[in-house]
Amino acid sequence: MADIPDQEIEDSPLGGIVTRDGVMVQVHIYRFAGTDDEWTLEVVDHEGGHTTWTGTLANDEDAFEAFEQAVAKDGIRSFVKQQVEH
C-alpha cells in the first residue's frame, strides 16, 4: 500500500475561542494548506465534544458566518448539551 504524504493544515484567523452566555467553545476553520480547497468548520466544547458541519464552505468568512447563524438559531449551549447537525 502506498504511503499517503502528510498535508499541512491552514487555520483561518477567524477561528478561535468564542464565549457567549458563559459558555466557551473553540471554533476551528481549516483547509489543506496551499490549496484553494473549501473550508471545514468544527466547534469543540470544553469537554472535547465536537460538532463538524457536514459540508464545506466556500471561504472562511462563510464558515464563521455559518457558526454565527447556528448560535443565533440554536444558542451556543447547543454545542455543549447536544450535538446538532449543521
pLDDT tens column, 46-74: 888 889 999 999 999 999 999 999 999 99
| Residue reference for cell 468564542 | 18
Longest dimension (CA), the chain: 49
Q: What percent of the chain shows pLDDT beyond 90?
A: 73
- Residue 79, all three cell numbers: 454545542
- For residues 81 and 83, give the distance between their C-alpha atoms in angstroms, rounded to a whole number: 7
- For residues 2 and 36, give the distance between their C-alpha atoms in angstroms, rounded to a whole number: 25
* Structure confidence at residue 3 (pLDDT): 60
* Spatial contact of 84 and 78, defined as CB atoms under 8 Å apart: yes
